[in-house]
């Protein structure tokens, strides 16, 4: 059975080293439902709008809205105004469905987490750089409360309910590898982050989707290949991924199971300059450890990496204790 240490032992072993952290949905699972947003959208199976997601092979709401808007233009040009109006209405329904999904899966305000921020901040401050695979707002809220990590938006300015743009030359120690519900393209390719202007960040996000027709930048595709295609299509996401590939700090993984649909992430980790990977395991039983050991060994071998890896008990990190 592979060795399993507790989190504090891992801290001792990396004393004096730079540490980087990769968080997966286990970080947010207590507060955010990572069931597919499409499943929470209220768009019923078998309806034309839901079928369009399947026809396009996507769970990306924006891709579906773009398809509907394109079809609207074609139908109107061919004189099919009634059908054009129907498609235009469906596009708005898809926007509203994403709003419903965000509201259904996410706490409405960061105050709902109360004293929990103290323990999560204590955990995060052990690391000089944080990479996130999550598109929810939990990490963003912790950072707003505790001002722990610069996020690359520091050279920007406020523009209504947004701040930015992101700048590669700005100080940045927080990288959203799969985007985030709070991140939006401003229409020129620049990435802005939603801010709280009184009603909460969720209100900014949902209003922007429903009323301005803009969508958050997030990766929810089903396979690693599809995810990399999305990452490569957006400069901000590509920059975050390239930064992971260049990481030289001891790498900690928390709240992630190394699933095949995130193979691109582990290829990057084992292709990086990290000398050792500490992999958090929830309830580290023998069968689970053997499976994970095989998965990580495969990524290690494929990358030709000399980086070792050690398992730690993720519960011992006490991330959301009061």
Give the E-state strand segments of 24-136 in sequence order: 129-132
pLDDT tens-digit series, residues 137-196: 889 988 888 888 999 998 999 999 999 999 999 999 999 999 999 999 988 889 999 998
What tokens does 246 get? 């260049």
Average per-residue pLDDT in the chain?
A: 91
What is the rounded CA–CA span in Å between residue 143 and residue 102? Answer: 20
Angle at 198 between CA 195 and CA 204, to 5 degrees: 45
| Of 305, 299, 244, residue with least CA distance to 276 | 305
Position 5 pLDDT exceeds 90: yes
Domain coordinates in residue numbering, the chain = 4-32+113-317, 48-105
Q: Using 50, 70 and 90 to split pLDDT, how confident is the model at 18?
A: very high
According to DSSP, the β-strands at 174-176 and 216-218 are unpaired
Burial 271-304 (b: 16+ CB within 10 A, else e): bbebebbbbbbeebeeeebeebeebbeebbeebe
Position 59 pLDDT exceeds 70: yes
What is the rounded CA–CA span in Å between residue 300 and residue 275? Answer: 12
3 state SS of 48? helix
Q: Using 50, 70 and 90 to split pLDDT, how confident is the model at 322?
A: low
Residue 46 has a pLDDT of: 92
Position 114 pLDDT exceeds 80: no
Residue range 297-314: mean pLDDT, rounded: 94
Residue 74 has a pLDDT of: 94
Least confident span in 96-100, 204-208, 290-294? 96-100
| Residue 70 and residue 63 in contact, taking contact as beta carbons nearer than 8 Å | no
Considering only residues 12 and 35, tell me which one the structure prediction assigns the higher pLDDT. Answer: 12
User: In 186-312, where does DSSP find H-type helix?
Assistant: 201-212, 224-232, 235-246, 263-271, 286-303
Q: Note the pTM of the prediction, 2 decimals.
A: 0.87
């Amino acid at each position: 059975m592979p060795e399993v240490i507790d989190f504090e032992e891992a801290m001792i072993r990396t004393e004096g080293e730079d540490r980087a952290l990769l968080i997966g949905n286990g970080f947010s699972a207590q507060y955010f439902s990572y069931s597919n947003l499409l499943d929470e959208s209220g768009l019923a199976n078998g309806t034309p709008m839901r079928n369009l997601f399947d026809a396009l092979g996507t769970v990306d709401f924006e891709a579906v809205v773009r398809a509907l808007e394109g079809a609207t233009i074609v139908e109107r040009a061919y004189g099919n105004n009634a059908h054009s109006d129907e498609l235009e209405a469906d596009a708005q329904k898809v926007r509203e469905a994403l709003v419903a999904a965000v509201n259904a899966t996410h706490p409405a305000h960061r105050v709902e987490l109360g004293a929990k921020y103290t323990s999560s901040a204590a955990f995060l401050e052990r690391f000089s750089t944080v990479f996130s695979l999550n598109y929810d707002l939990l990490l963003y809220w912790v950072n707003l409360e505790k001002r722990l990590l610069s996020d690359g938006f520091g050279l920007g300015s406020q523009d209504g309910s947004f701040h930015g743009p992101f700048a590669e030359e700005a100080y940045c120690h927080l990288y959203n590898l799969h985007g985030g519900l709070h991140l939006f393209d401003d229409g020129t390719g620049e990435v802005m982050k939603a801010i709280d202007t009184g009603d909460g960040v969720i209100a900014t996000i949902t209003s922007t989707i429903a009323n301005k027709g803009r969508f958050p930048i997030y990766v929810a595709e089903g396979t690693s290949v599809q995810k990399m295609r999305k990452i490569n299509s957006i400069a901000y996401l590509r920059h975050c991924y390239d930064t992971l590939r260049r990481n030289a700090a001891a790498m900690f993984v928390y709240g992630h199971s190394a699933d095949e649909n995130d193979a691109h992430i582990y290829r990057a980790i084992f292709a990086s300059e990290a000398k050792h990977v500490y992999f958090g395991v929830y309830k580290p039983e023998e069968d689970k450890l053997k499976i994970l050991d095989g998965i990580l060994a495969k990524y290690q071998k494929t990358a030709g990496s000399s980086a070792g890896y050690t398992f730690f008990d993720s519960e011992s990190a006490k991330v959301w204790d009061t």
